[in-house]
């Protein structure tokens, strides 16, 4: 099994330059693990990764989504605060 982790495989200081290689990286993946924190949907490259995964033939049942707790949820022991 191979594991490609975008945070470590894409230069975080030159994300735009590395996005051109994204289809090549994603094409080698048959499953996608999404660790979605508070800012996940606000980061364009995260959405591009999902788009490319599905465009390259990825299946919805091959995406494993884990929603990470917010800072306030972690501080309150996992309970949501208003």
48 Cβ contact list (under 8 Å, min separation 6) = 19, 22
Q: What are the tokens at 60?
A: 């919805």
Q: Are 4 and 25 in contact (CB under 8 A)?
A: yes
pTM of the model: 0.72
Q: What is residue 78's predicted lDDT score, i.e. its pLDDT?
A: 60
pLDDT in tens, 16-57: 887 788 888 888 888 999 999 999 999 888 888 899 899 989
> With 0-12 CB in 10 A as exposed, 13-18 as middle and 19+ as buried, what is 57?
exposed
Q: Which residue has the tokens 């707790």?
A: 69
């Amino acid at each position: 099994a191979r594991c490609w982790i975008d945070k470590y495989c894409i230069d975080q200081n030159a994300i735009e330059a590395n996005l051109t290689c994204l289809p090549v990286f994603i094409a080698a993946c048959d499953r996608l693990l999404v660790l979605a924190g508070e800012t996940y949907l606000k980061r364009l490259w995260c959405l591009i990764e999902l788009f490319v995964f599905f465009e390259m033939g990825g299946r919805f049942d091959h995406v494993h989504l884990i929603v990470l707790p917010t800072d306030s949820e972690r501080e309150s022991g996992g309970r949501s605060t208003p």
